[in-house]
Amino acid sequence: MNFHLQDGIEKGLVENDKKDHGEDERNDHEQDGRNDHVEVEPLAMTHETWKTELQVCLKGKFYKAVVRPAMLYGVECWPVKNSHVQRMKVAEMRMLRWMCGLTRLDKIKNEVIREKVGVAPVDEKMREARLMWFGHVRRRSPDAPVRSCERLAVVGASRGRGRPKRYWGEVIRQDMAKMRISEDMTLDRKVWRSSIRVVG
């Protein structure tokens, strides 16, 4: 969506190695709070209307138009970890089951529920958002403010113990490898969009 691009410069391409452990925890709490908030969105409609009068396909359209954009706002700039993706998937499936009047006790596969409501997996939509933003950035002039972070150099910083934290660029490289696309394709906006598009 366009509002991703409008706020992108303010959010920046966040480099994960600039965050300490406490900041990672705050990000996790922020994500949990956002997921809790968007799960309340469908409840703005009366319970009986949502439960009986709306077809499942319409509930899916409502979810894609209102709930998911709020949940994915700013995701294109996250140097996501596997734990972040897993939390998003769990939150989404909890909402989709509720929309269909189901619980985990019904033992219906996630794929069946997704097909019923016409919603693509949230991790694929997260990847689409990241690659869309990456293409937007790469089409800009090298002197554009949004690309200034590519020339940043951290001086005097030392890496702490443990596994190195993920960079946003590393996530993008993994996304492109998975989709079998190359960076030079970003120059053609139409080709790039069609290559990264996820239906649903």
- Are the C-beta atoms of residues 171 and 130 closer than 8 Å to each other? yes
Residue 196 has pLDDT above 50, yes or no: yes
Average pLDDT of span 105-114 = 92
Q: What share of the chain in percent tops pLDDT 90?
A: 39
Average pLDDT of span 88-114 = 91
Residue bearing the bigger pLDDT, 73 or 146: 73
Give the pLDDT of residue 44: 53
Mean pLDDT is lowest, of 59-73, 90-104, 145-159, for 145-159
Give the pLDDT of residue 79: 87
Average pLDDT of span 66-89 = 90
> What DSSP string runs through 18-80?
G--HHHHHHHHHHHHHHHHHHTTGGGGS-HHIIIIIS-HHHHHHHIIIIIHHHHTTTGGG---
Q: How far is 96 from 182, CA to CA, in rounded Å?
A: 34
Question: pLDDT digit string (tens) for 10-46?
Answer: 344 333 434 444 445 555 555 555 555 555 555 555 5
Write the DSSP symbol of residue 188: S
- Are the C-beta atoms of residues 112 and 49 closer than 8 Å to each other? no
The two structure tokens encoding residue 44: 């703005």
Q: 142 lies in which domain range?
A: 2-196
Residue 189 has pLDDT above 90, yes or no: yes
Question: Exposure of 97 by Cβ count < 10 A (0-12 exposed, 13-18 middle, 19+ buried)?
Answer: middle
| Structure-token match 């894609």, residue found | 64
Average pLDDT of span 121-132 = 95
Give the pLDDT of residue 11: 42
Name the pTM for this structure: 0.73
Question: pLDDT digit string (tens) for 128-177?
Answer: 999 999 999 999 888 888 877 776 666 666 667 777 777 888 999 999 99
Q: How far is 16 from 79, CA to CA, in rounded Å?
A: 6
Residue 6 has pLDDT above 50, yes or no: no
Q: How confident is the model at residue 85 (pLDDT cuts 50, 70, 90)?
A: very high
**Overall domain count for the chain:** 1
Q: How confident is the model at residue 123 (pLDDT cuts 50, 70, 90)?
A: very high
Going by C-alpha positions, the residue among 23, 14, 30 that lies closest to residue 71 is 30
